[in-house]
Amino acid sequence: MVQDLGYLKESPSQTAGPYVHIGCTPNFAGITGVYDTDLGSTMVNDKTLGERITMRGCVIDGAGVPLKDALVEIWQADAAGLYNSPSELRGTADPNFTGWGRCPTSADDGMFTFETIKPGRAPYKDGRKMAPHITVWIVARGINIGLHTRMYFADEAEANAEDPLLARIEHRHRVATLVAPREGSVYTFDIHLQGEKETVFLDI
Amino acid sequence: MSDLSNKKPETGAFFQRDRAWHAPALTPGYKTSVLRSPQKALLSLDGTMSEITGPVFGHSLLGELDNDLIHNFAKPGESAIGERIIVHGRVLDERGKPVPGALLEFWQANAGGRYRHKKESYLAAVDPNFGGCGRTITADDGSYRFRTIRPGAYPWPNGVNDWRPAHIHFSIFGHGFAQRLITQMYFEGDPMIWKCPIVTTIPDKSAIEQLIAPLDWANTIPMDARAYKFDIVLRGRRSTLFENRMEGN
């Protein structure tokens, strides 16, 4: 016999269900008076450094229909590439930028929208710089475990070409599923859950 | 955003997620998963700065009644109808270490199984004194607690006669975005657990049992509320040999 390593098992995930808004964005669900505002609804203020951008898109199912009950969260570095997290040891992130946002998809058109800034570049483990990106996490009814992906920026072609994650995508035409086109200050990032245009999802 | 203590933060990458322990994406018995499950393989990547960091929320975020669902939506002097319970436990990581400063959000139906949500059409009545949302942040030892009423079971349009067992939804933030987790807590002894197509998306019976909270008689408050204990385990971090010592141990 050998010793037991003694590790615990992670609590298994379950779907967030159709009423995730009650717990995560109660004001959006019409439950007012409990929390002042829905958490994650504002990421920037007047003093936030960096280029203001809008990130928007839909989460689309295998029949091509946008989900109207999904919840999208994003996590990103500040304009200097620093994360507003205790585990960030390279410096102090912009105190006027949370780095984290949360938005339910609209019950009308299924659209999510984040008012944020364009992130700077953070290093990969080996010191190479990753291209600017925003980490995206999606939960909804019918999704048993939250889906991780990343949005990259179409106007960062040079950085994208040397990004270690994008370089690992074997089927090169799928790289485009992570790169959001720009129009003015708006980046549109549609997430396809399955099928021909399926977004690359990550196990990280 | 953070008012954590001055303890040295951990920066290791997380253990790989055991995706055989979790439900697969495609579980046809839970019908909505059929069109909402990716068909291509996930791209694996060891955690980078983007995943080993994550938002941390300070206790200043919380209002006085945020962890009291019996009262946080009730009119002054009134309270929600139902079986009064306390749900408590600890948030640990896979190494058994407490996770302090973890934000927990929870939501649930009322005692009759009715959610306060505009898309909900179940004929059971809404409780005018029950909203159904709450949140709290774990203490230094990873512990948390809240008061609520025990939710009822409710029917849902999946099979012709499918009912969800009584459950409370949990959303948990650890210290890294890769620990992000949403799950559901069930109640010891509920025969509906084993009939539920959402519960049984999880292939391993012992994994399901990890989501069932036992009745905690020792912490039941006489003449007030029964207690249920629900511990939550988030992904652990790898130690890295740092200046000749194991960081994170």
Which chain B residue lies closest to A170 (C-alpha atoms)?
B43
Joined together, the tokens standing for residue A147 give: 């889906």
Q: What is the CA radius of gyration of chain B?
A: 19
In this prediction, residue B246 carries a pLDDT of 66
Q: Calculate the average pLDDT of chain B.
A: 94
In this prediction, residue B8 carries a pLDDT of 77
Instruction: Kindly state the average pLDDT of the residues B142-167.
Output: 97
A185 Cα to chain B: minimum distance (Å): 23
pLDDT at residue B249 greater than cutoff 60? no
3-state secondary structure (DSSP) of residue B177? helix
The complex scores an ipTM of 0.97
B169 is catalytic: yes
pLDDT at residue B239 greater than cutoff 60? yes
Q: How many CB pairs under 8 A join A and B?
A: 284
B144 is catalytic: no
CA distance B35 to B85: 37
The gap between the terminal CA atoms of chain A, to the nearest Å, is: 33
Q: Identify the residue among A25, A68, A87, A136 best suited for mutation to test binding to B, counting B beta carbons within 10 A and taking the highest.
A: A87
Q: Say which of B150, B164, B175, B235 is annotated catalytic.
A: B164
pLDDT at residue A100 greater than cutoff 80? yes
B228 is catalytic: no
Among A128, A131, A147, A129, smallest CA distance to A139 is for A147
Ramachandran region of residue A104, left (φ > 0), alpha (ψ -120 to 50) or beta? beta
Cα angle A101-A103-A104, degrees, rounded to a multiple of 5: 160
Which chain A residue lies closest to B47 (C-alpha atoms)?
A204
Of residues B238 and B44, the one with the higher pLDDT is B44
CA distance A100 to A84: 9
A144 touches chain B (CB under 8 A): yes
In this prediction, residue B1 carries a pLDDT of 45
Instruction: Kindly state the average pLDDT of the residues A174-190.
Output: 98
User: Percentage helix, strand, coil, to 5, in chain A?
Assistant: 10, 25, 60
In this prediction, residue B241 carries a pLDDT of 63
Cβ-nearest to B107 among A23, A193, A194: A23
pLDDT at residue B5 greater than cutoff 80? no
pLDDT at residue A108 greater than cutoff 70? yes
pLDDT at residue B120 greater than cutoff 90? no
Sequence-distant (≥ 6) Cβ neighbours of residue B234 within 8 angstroms: A10, A11, B91, B92, B93, B94, B99, B102, B172, B174, B179, B181
Q: Say which of B22, B115, B180, B226 is annotated catalytic.
A: B115
Q: What percent of chain B has pLDDT over 70?
A: 93
Which tens digit of pLDDT belongs to each residue from A49-99? 999 999 999 999 999 999 999 999 999 999 999 999 999 999 999 999 999
In this prediction, residue B248 carries a pLDDT of 59
pLDDT at residue B93 greater than cutoff 50? yes
Indicate the burial class of B201 (C-beta count within 10 angstroms; 0-12, 13-18, 19 or more): buried
Contacts of A165 in chain B (CB under 8 A): 43, 45, 48
In this prediction, residue B243 carries a pLDDT of 58
A181 touches chain B (CB under 8 A): no
B164 is catalytic: yes
In this prediction, residue A119 carries a pLDDT of 98
Instruction: Kindly state the average pLDDT of the residues A177-204.
Output: 98
Q: What's this model's pTM, rounded to 2 decimal places? A: 0.96
Which tens digit of pLDDT belongs to each residue from A148-159? 999 999 999 999
pLDDT at residue B244 greater than cutoff 90? no
pLDDT at residue B247 greater than cutoff 70? no
- Dihedral sign computed on CA atoms, order A117, B172, B193, B225: negative
